[in-house]
Every structure is written in structure tokens, then in C-alpha cells.
Amino acid sequence: MTQDEQANEPLEFENRHPGKKQMRDEVIAGLMLSQKMIPAKYLYDEKGSILFDQICEVEEYYPTQTEMGILRDNIEEIAELAGPNCLLVEYGSGSGDKTRILLEHLVSPAGYVPIEISKEALLASAKRLTAAYPHICVLPVCADFSQPIKIPSSVNPAGKRLVFFPGSTIGNMLPEEATSFLKRCAKVCGPGGGMLIGVDLKKDTQLLEAAYNDSKGVSAAFALNVLDRFNRELDANFDPQKFGYHSAYNNLEGRIEMGIRSFADQIVKFGHDEIGFAKDEVMFTEFSHKFSLDQWREKANFAGFDITHVWTDAQQLFSVQYMTVQS
């Protein structure tokens, strides 16, 4: 069977995607807050996932290419730390481009578990990786990784579990959410397990703001796409012409704040519910927290991890860190 034929074969996966009722309840609850917020996970429908991949390719967005460079430059050491027969578990697997760097160097991995909330992105990536690495057992799970997830077992015996969490996704979480997530990851890793994580570092404000508000407008399109999704799936009536993209660095909180600004006083309907927006009011869609190396070490230690290896680029824009579960 050719790789193209393998890619077209039906792929079994676990579907724990939140239903429309859960999405509606969470969105309405967020929009009823005094500071309106949209759960960032709902940015990732099929189109949103494609737009995010495009963001990763724009010139201003340094995290993706910088992190991939760090992984390539240090992959031999990373593979040695992972050891033979590891079960690779990736949260927010996306397109799987960074995963390929690992899969090409890990020694006889027991399997690969990609976890992604966008079913379309998950299946497309899992099929490509299954075709490219037919010797690796791929066990995709469609789920919201902000909640506890039971990890499927590979048919092959695993030496240990390696949790892979690339990008600056950990920075998208509020501090308490990030701590809870890391504690769950420590349990997933188990004794002797490890976590390979991307951690974005504090840097010049101008560089940061350019990365999240690119000149091509892809970041804006990514955020505003959620309005079309809510209109389509939640019976809302957002007028996209009356909203615009907002992005700025909050120095006090150490984070980029992204959202959607209302251009006028207006009311948006969600079926029978109505949500009022004031002129210039912003509903936040995402945060992206940045860390110093010391801040991250303190956070990781509190969540039950010890940091054993830290790799950065020459400019120290970004870091990839290997953490082990505290004994």
C-alpha cells in the first residue's frame, strides 16, 4: 500500500470533543462576565486551525520557527533523554510539524497520542503521520485538554511516557489553570516520565506586539473567525463589520492580551439570549503569558516538576525545557 493509500484509510480515534450545548453554555457564561472572555479553545474550528498554521508562517511570529530551530539543534540530546520505547503524548498537536522532528529521532517509540480539540485538524495530521511513520502506533484523541483525559494504551510496551507540549500554549492559560494543567501532566508522565515543553520568554515589547498583530492581518482573521463560527453553530447574529481585532502587551501581567473590540453600542443575539456590547468594549479571546527562566522554574517546581535541561536560541527569545516528575 502506498503512502497516499494509507492516508485515505479510515482512522480510528477517540472523540471526546465538547458538544454544542457545552460550547454555548461556556461562551454565554464568558460573555456575561464584567470582563467578557471567549474560551480560546473555540477559536480552533477547521478554518481557525488553518489560520493558526498560517500565523506560524508569518515573518513577525517568531515562536514557531525559533522553537523548531531549538528542537533540531538539540534533538539528539532530547532523544537520549526520552530513551527507547517511550510513549509520546502531545497536547494540542495541531499540524504535527514539530512532532516529526521527534518521531524521526526517537528510538523505537511505543506509540504517539496526539490530543487536539479540532477534529478536522487532528484527523488530517494523524493520517499524514500514520502514512509517514507506518511503524509507529498513532492513537488520536479529540478532546479539550484543559480537562483531565485518560491516555489510551499502546499495543507496544512503553519504556516511559514523554509529554510534549510545544509552542507557547502554556502561556495561553491563566496562572492557576497552567498550574492545574502541569499537575495533571505530572500524573500522566508518572514515575520516571518526562515533559518536553515550549516556554516563551520575556522580551522587547515592540517585538512581542508585532508577533501577535502581523502586518498581513492573519492574527486578526484568526480571532474574528470565531464570530462566524458562533453565527453558524450557536445561532448568533454577530455582524463582523462591527467588530475588530485587539492586541496589546500588558506589562504588569507579563502577557499579550488578544481580543475582539466592539465598534459601537450594540446587542448580539444567541438564539433567545441577548448580550450587550458597549462601544470600544473588548471581549478577550486569548492571553499569552511570557516568563523569565527563574519564573518558569518556580512554577514548574510548584507543580511537581524538576527542570533538568533548558535549551534556547542565541537571542533567548524562546526556550524548550525538559522536566522530570519530582520523586
- Per-residue pLDDT band at 326 (split at 50, 70, 90): very high
Q: What is the DSSP string of 66-117?
A: HHHHHHHHHHHHHHHHH-TT-EEEEES-TT-HHHHHHHTTSSS-SEEEEEES
Question: Which of 22-31, 92-101, 128-137, 153-162 is least confident?
Answer: 153-162
Tell me, what's the pLDDT at 213? 96
Q: Is the pLDDT of residue 1 over 70?
A: no
Give pLDDT, residue 159.
86
Q: How confident is the model at residue 2 (pLDDT cuts 50, 70, 90)?
A: very low
Q: What is the pLDDT of residues 207-223, one digit of tens each?
A: 999 999 999 999 999 99
**Percentage of the chain exceeding pLDDT 70:** 96
pLDDT score of 204 more than 50: yes
Helix (H), strand (E) at residue 251: none
* Range name among 16-25, 34-43, 156-165, 214-223 with the lowest pLDDT average: 16-25
pLDDT category, 6, cuts 50, 70, 90? very low
pLDDT tens for 38-84 read: 999 999 999 999 999 999 999 999 999 999 999 999 999 999 999 99
- The pLDDT-based confidence of 323 (bands split at 50, 70, 90) is very high
- The string of pLDDT tens digits covering residues 281-296 is 999 999 999 999 999 9
Q: How many CB atoms lie within 10 A of CB 144?
A: 18
Average pLDDT of span 150-155: 86
Could you tell me which residues come within 8 angstroms of residue 122 by beta carbon, excluding any fewer than 6 positions away?
13, 93, 114, 116, 140, 141, 142
- Interior angle at CA 228, CA 223 and CA 232, nearest 5: 145
- Mean pLDDT rounded to a whole number for the chain: 93
Is residue 262 within 8 Å of residue 280, measured between CB atoms? yes
* Residue 181: pLDDT band with limits 50, 70, 90: very high
Phi, psi angles (nearest 5°) of residue 270: -120, 85
Which triple of cell numbers denotes residue 75?
534533538
Q: Tell me what the mean pLDDT of segment 176-182 comes to.
A: 97
What pLDDT does 280 receive?
Answer: 98
Quote the pLDDT of residue 3. Answer: 40
Residue range 125-130: mean pLDDT, rounded: 93
∠ CA 122-59-62, rounded to 5°: 70
Query: How confident is the model at residue 71, as a pLDDT?
Result: 98
Architecture, CATH, for domain 3-13+59-203+291-325: 3-Layer(aba) Sandwich (3.40)
Domain ranges of the chain: 3-13+59-203+291-325
What is the reported pLDDT for 7?
Answer: 38
